[in-house]
Amino acid sequence: MLQGTPILVLKEGTERERGKGATANNIAAARAVADAVRTTLGPRGMDKMLVDSMGDITITNDGVTILKEVDVEHPAAKMLVEVAKTQDQQCGDGTTTAVVLAGELLKRSEYLLEQNVHPTVITRGFQLALQEAKRILESEIGTAVKPEDEAVLIDCAVTAMGSKGVAGAREGLATTVVKAVRRITEERGGKTVCDVDQIKVEKRHGGQVSDTEFIEGIVLDKERGHPRMPVEVANAKIALLNSALEIKKTEIESKINIKNPSQIQSFLDEEDKTFHKMVDAIKASGANVVICQKGIDDVVLHYLAKEGIYAVKQVKESDLQKLARATGGHIVTGIKELSGTDLGKAAKVEQRKIGEDHMTFVTGCSNPRSVSILVRGGTEHVTQEVERSLQDALKVVASVLEDGVVCPGGGATEVELSVKLRKWAASVGGREQLAVEAFAQSLEAVPWALAENGGYDSINTLIELRSAHNGPAANRNIGVNLADGKAADMWKLRVLEPARVKRQAISSAVEVASMILRIDDIIASRKSAPAPGGPGGHDH
């Protein structure tokens, strides 16, 4: 009786796609994202211009920035954006590589699916290949580096910035980056820890990229609170306050009844006395610089200026914490608790004019655990791109110091892994072997894209690389030299990358590819229509 009657389980308007159609749709979306960023890979990669809904322009070569700025709609494509974000958080570099690898794995999987290899078999093969690839990376390709090996750290920073638009000033910036990361490196529980967040990057356009400077202390984007304050304070003793130097308004509405004019005067005098007490407390502690997270009343600023104390108000909480780490001071809440032991010390606090703005420099800290880099560049877009390059390089240098392992760049690591995995695939047996071979082939997408973006013949380059990594005279350090498109030794060319970048890129790529392959049913509810009277709706 019920035969032929459709049973509706899902809400009206729900779209459903099943089986191979769903998988093909997901793979196509993920590959579209990978193809979009593929052209930005490597030192010869092109830039993208992104215009957001407000009309603001971003010009960048950074994989994660591109994918964050582009509003991706498709759910499978969003998963690739997540890969880039994770790669950026963990390593800072290799975001484009991770996305390109994920796209390539899916492309190879599509071919296997057409041969009726089950998605679960493919994902299992990928997992086996990933484990083996990690083992090869650790035991055969990675080279240990000592923290004092400054030349290697600088090479890694230069490589990380190679694809960004800062080519001319790379060496100088790399030296700055290594100095900064070295400064904040600590030993904790027998492990080296580099918290890159302790490096404050301030940017100001005007000047050249080569004017970017490293400051052993903190730069605040603020000027002194009063024109009569000293412009410069030598041998500074700094009070760090996170409460306001103002008279608090009462929480509840309050009235003051005044019967004669002298009471007004005594009320004002009392207020004045309170302000005086605040300044006296600061002076008694021995401080000659005050940095406050909240506001400072104009009268207090006037009294501080009379005492020759330099004061800055409305400083961000994160900056105050960095100042505490840099100067060795303590952040104090109540001004009554302020004592000489809470003060931070710096050789100099001064106000300098950078471009159009005045900024406060706290320099000459004896052993700063927090430092600053002031980025300069011709235009705003240039300084933004320099800042992104620096962030990548800072994280890269930090991961080399933490892990102490580097491997050759220029596609050398990928080709070596590919060659080794191809040989190993035969020992896997079963249908998983096909997936391992597909994984090995996918790794070659990196040198392929590097050569292609450099304007060279990808096939010739790949053949040359394969033969250099095989045979009796095999050299695992041979990668693409983008100066002439030929195979060359990456250690000699000083193109080095942290092993962590490679490890994270292949792990993320395999995880996202496996996740997308295992989806065989997409159920998408209809988007709810805008409410009447709301944006896009009509109120009748």
Instruction: Quickly count helices (H) and strands (E) in the chain.
Output: 17, 21
Q: Choosing from 96, 159, 212, 413, which is the catalytic residue?
A: 96
95 is an active site residue: yes
**What's the CA gap between 419 and 443, in Å, rounded?**
10
**What's the CA gap between 414 and 447, in Å, rounded?**
8
Q: Please, where are the H alpha helices in 4-118?
A: 19-38, 63-69, 75-90, 95-114
The sign of the torsion formed by the CA atoms of 525, 526, 527, 528 equals negative
> What is the SS3 assignment for 187?
strand
212 is an active site residue: no
**What's the CA gap between 165 and 44, in Å, rounded?**
10
159 is an active site residue: no
Whether the CB-CB separation of 326 and 371 falls below 8 Å is answered with yes
Whether the CB-CB separation of 478 and 490 falls below 8 Å is answered with yes
* Strand-pair partners of 310: 289
392 is an active site residue: yes
- Collect all residues with Cβ–Cβ distance below 8 Å to 58 and sequence separation of at least 6: 49, 50, 52, 65, 69, 381, 384
> What is the SS3 assignment for 215?
strand
Q: Please, where are the H alpha helices in 404-539?
A: 412-425, 432-443, 445-453, 458-469, 490-493, 499-517
Burial class (CB in 10 A: 0-12, 13-18, 19+), 235: exposed
Residue 321: other Cβ atoms inside 10 A: 17
Question: SS in 3 state form for 498-509?
Answer: EHHHHHHHHHHH
**What's the CA gap between 446 and 410, in Å, rounded?**
8
- The helix (run of H) or strand (run of E) holding residue 264 is helix 261-285
**What's the CA gap between 134 and 222, in Å, rounded?**
48
Q: Choosing from 23, 40, 60, 62, which is the catalytic residue?
A: 62
* Strand-pair partners of 143: 406
Q: Choosing from 60, 95, 360, 461, which is the catalytic residue?
A: 95
Amino acid at 10: L
Q: Choosing from 58, 93, 392, 461, which is the catalytic residue?
A: 392
Nearest CA to 312 among 236, 214, 235, 201?
236
Query: Which residues are tagged catalytic?
Result: 62, 95-96, 392
